[in-house]
């Protein structure tokens, strides 16, 4: 049992569950912790393919960034309130928070989650409600399909207190002006990943 999991077992949640103070007592030991509505979820480090998709999309966002008012971060904790501190795969945040970890959700423009088999419900439903409640204006869900060698992206835009689909799980070239103009060539990213998974045979 890791030190962080042992520490978590010793914690006693309040009536509304765990708090960010509880979360911050857990030692760093390679596991990934998120606090969602008072519940602490624990997951192992992401796979290489998951991290590669997140890194590629984050780089495309950063390359298209028109000014220095915002920066693109990866795998950083965002404090929403006393009982919620998710850790999105990609986040566009004010540059004023550049050196803060975790940082407050105020001013966050975009959150991107790359779905893995163990996070599908959390990323597509639970966090969707959470980020909408926190007022994050734009939310992308990225779904790689290893068997089909595709990657799909859904773009959600906040209207009132809920998200609507501006783009519903496209696997084609994705273009948007939110949070700034950017193009994500999803077929090219999927093909790039496929080349890593099935490299050409050694002909030497």
67 and 33 assigned to the same domain: no
- Please indicate, yes or no, whether residues 56 and 132 belong to a single structural domain of this protein: yes
Query: CA dist 144 to 81, 83, 104, 175, Å?
Result: 30, 30, 29, 18
Task: Give the residue numbers spanning the domain of 31.
Answer: 3-43
Tell me whether residue 203 is in a domain: no
Query: How many structural domains compose the chain?
Result: 2
Same domain, 157 and 109: yes
Write down the number of H helices and E strands in the chain.
Answer: 6, 12
Q: Name the most confidently modeled range: 11-15, 18-22, 44-48, 197-201.
A: 18-22
Residue 202 falls within a domain, yes or no? Answer: no
Note whether residue 113 is domain-resident: yes
pLDDT in tens, 61-70: 999 999 899 9
- What is residue 73's predicted lDDT score, i.e. its pLDDT? 97
pTM of model > 0.75: yes
Same structural domain, 133 and 164: yes
The string of pLDDT tens digits covering residues 135-187 is: 999 999 999 998 889 999 999 999 999 999 999 999 999 999 999 999 999 99
Q: For the chain, give the mean pLDDT.
A: 92
**Is 92 part of a structural domain of the chain?**
yes
């Amino acid at each position: 049992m890791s030190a962080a999991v042992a520490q978590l077992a010793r914690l006693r949640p309040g009536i509304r569950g765990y708090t960010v103070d509880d979360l911050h007592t857990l030692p760093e030991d390679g596991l990934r912790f998120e606090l969602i509505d008072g519940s602490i979820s624990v997951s192992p480090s992401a796979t290489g393919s998951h991290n590669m998709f997140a890194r590629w999309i984050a780089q495309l966002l950063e390359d298209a960034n028109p000014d220095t008012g915002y920066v693109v971060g990866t795998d950083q904790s965002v404090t929403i309130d006393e009982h919620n501190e998710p850790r999105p795969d990609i986040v566009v945040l004010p540059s004023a928070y550049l050196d803060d970890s975790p940082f407050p959700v105020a001013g966050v423009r975009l959150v991107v989650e790359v779905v893995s088999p163990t996070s599908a419900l959390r990323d597509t439903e639970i966090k969707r409600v959470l980020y909408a409640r926190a007022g994050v204006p734009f939310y992308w869900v990225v779904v790689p399909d290893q068997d089909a060698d595709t990657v799909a992206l859904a773009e959600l835009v906040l209207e009132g207190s809920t998200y609507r689909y501006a783009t519903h799980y496209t696997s084609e070239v994705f273009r948007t002006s939110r949070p700034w103009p950017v193009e994500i060539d999803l077929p090219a990213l999927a093909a790039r990943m496929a080349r890593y998974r099935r490299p050409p045979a050694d002909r030497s």
